[in-house]
Amino acid sequence: MPAQIKKYKAAAVHAEPGWFDLELAVQKTIHWINEAGKAGCKLVAFPEVWIPGYPYWMWKINYQQSLPFLKRYRQNSLPSDSNEMRRIRAAARENGIYVSLGYSEIDMATLHLAQVLISPTGDILNHRRKIKPTHVERLIFGDGAGDTFEPVVDTDIGRIGQLNCWENLNPFLKAYAASLGEQVHVAAWPIYPDKTTLQYPDPYTNISDGNSDIVSPAYAIETGTFVLAPFQRISQEGVAKNTPPGVEVETPDRYNGHTRIFGPDGALLAKPDKDFEGLVLVDVSPHSHYPKTPPPLLTPIPPPPNRSTSTKPTSPKPSPTSAVTTCARTLCASSSTPVAKNSSPTPTRTATSAPTVPWSESAWRRR
């Protein structure tokens, strides 16, 4: 259905999760939903696995060091059918707001990088799982499947899409979301260090700068969508919680300030300072990127003018048919089998201009 609300305020959450603490994580989630509601937002977007925080420690420690972290992380992951999720849904209903929530979902014995889109009535409109965890994420998370694959939902504020982390680089997932007419995209990112930590052969896409300032605007340009790209942030206390004994504790500055919001043309609309914690706000108009004066799909091109000024008679060029026939007779001159002369006349072609096709919104772009 076409968006019923043509312009509204949306928010990307740029805040610290409740590390390894499901109850604290739920309280923080409800807090930011309430804050978005007070700000008059119709949509609030959380980062990837906001509950109970992205396990960035798995990229920096060995298997033995990871086991205590993995146990606590699993114990504080969120079941989709739980009282904690019902409390979050109730907060969405009380504030009349759409909520895009990223969380570590525990389903029986498996964890998933999951996202839900919650409606202003508290209903879950979409539940999806990251189709393939990235690299060492497979130590912790299982794969998504076909029944949790759909990325786009049609709502009264536009068609809202969601993808997790490196899914935003996947050309097939982008093309699929675009084919569904996506208008507002939530590119949920985890917590990343900046380029000062980059060491060969680590790729540039494995740091915050590449994803916040290249991948996210590229998605906006390629799909013509508003892109909300929320990142997590971390405090010095949070770094300590994510660092095993005997390992040097990093500074949190390199992890903060990477949330972005981009317009459908890739223009940067909003970004936070490194020390900012809160909601990054933007006004969204799902149809604002349509051209005001749509061009025709085809422009008639007149035939070129006759530029010949010479009065010298020119000998007529042989038609393609007669040239082929002559060539065939020459090649077969030594053969006893006669070659029949092609007597069919050369067809006459008349130059015509391209027809004018009337413009229609559905033909220009289906939104």
Question: Which residues carry out catalysis?
Answer: 48, 130, 165
329 DSSP 8-state letter: H
CB 7, CB 43: distance < 8 Å? no
Give helix 83-95 / helix 22-38 axis angle, nearest 10°: 10
Q: DSSP assignment of 235-301, as one string? A: -HHHHHHTS-TTSPPPPGGGGSS--EEE-TTS-EEE---TT--EEEEEEE-TTTTS-SSPPPSS---
Q: Which residues of 171-203 are buried (b: 16+ CB within 10 A; e: fewer)?
A: eebbebbbebbbbbbbbbbbbbbbeeeeeeeee
Beta carbons within 10 angstroms of residue 309's beta carbon: 5
Q: DSSP assignment of 85-127, as one string? A: HHHHHHHHHHHT-EEEEEEEEEETTEEEEEEEEE-TTS-EEEE
Q: Which residue has the tokens 């969380």?
A: 103
In sequence order, the β-bridge partners of residue 188 are 164
Beta carbons within 10 angstroms of residue 14's beta carbon: 25
**Signed CA dihedral, 246, 251, 254, 260: sign only:** positive
Q: How many residues does the chain have?
A: 367
Q: Which two tokens stand for residue 82?
A: 């739980």
213 DSSP 8-state letter: I
